[in-house]
Amino acid sequence: MKRGLLLLSGGIDSPVAGYLIKKRGFDLISIHFSNETFAGKEPEQKAKALAKKIGTKLIVIDISDILKQIAEDCDKRYYFVLMKRVLYKLAEEVAKKKKCNFLVTGENLGQVSSQTLQNLFITNKVVSIPVLRPLIAYDKMDIVRLAEKIGTFEISKGPEMCDVLGPKHPSTQARESDIIGQERKVNMNRLIKEKMEKINL
């Protein structure tokens, strides 16, 4: 059976995406990237409850250190795209170890700055594994209604914490060359490698 790795944030969208993929008969594992240093424990606690609700095992990785370095050393305008590329790359490495064939995200086209068509395109290019986005064309209210129906909304509701280190005016049309240049500033490949070496899967 094909297996997917769901990027589970603790927000409204990602558990709904996971539910839809599981409904199609795919096996699913969830992964939550914690930013506990700056966002506290609530997102991780939500993710644990959501993983239980949708019936998946959960892997938690704290990436507070990497996000801090991005926020301090890179151009703030690109924070969200850089963050997403870190999540994707780490998820891809975990997927290889867990024999997952694809990633699943709750991304919705144009809902936030990192989800414009251009920024999704740049984010996607950091991995070679397929990325499924079952909510890509959903309206937000449609997602909320589905979350209410499957019982995840009450767990997910509340402020999103993924933007705690982000800028007020992020880039919506980042260029790949600029993003790669920013990643070189912090030696992103080294950061990813060092993080994976510390993870016991």
DSSP state string for 130-189: -EE-TTTT--HHHHHHHHHHHT-HHHH-S---TTTTS-SS--SS--HHHHHHHHHHTTHH
Q: Take residue 113 and report the two structure tokens written for it.
A: 């700055």
* pLDDT interval class at 110 (50, 70, 90): confident
Band of residue 39 on the pLDDT scale cut at 50, 70, 90: confident
- The predicted-structure confidence for 144-185, as pLDDT tens digits, reads as follows 999 999 999 999 987 665 666 778 888 999 999 999 999 999
Residue 57 gets which letter from DSSP? E
pLDDT at 115: 85
Q: Can you read off the two tokens belonging to residue 59? A: 């892997």
pLDDT band at 189 (very low <50, low <70, confident <90, very high): very high
Nearest to 179 by CA among 88, 61, 63: 88
* Mean pLDDT value of segment 21-37: 94
pLDDT in tens, 41-83: 899 999 999 999 999 999 999 999 999 999 999 999 999 999 9
Number of other residues whose CB lies within 10 A of the CB of residue 112: 16
**What is the set of domains in the chain, with CATH numbers?**
3-198 (3.40.50.620)
Average pLDDT, the chain: 93
pLDDT of residue 161: 58
pTM score, whole prediction:
0.94
Integer Cα distance of 132 and 52 in angstroms:
21
- Which residue from 2, 1, 40, 11 is spatially nearest to 135, judged by alpha carbons? 11
Query: pLDDT value at position 160?
Result: 67
Evaluate whether 151 touches 50 at the Cβ level (below 8 Å).
no
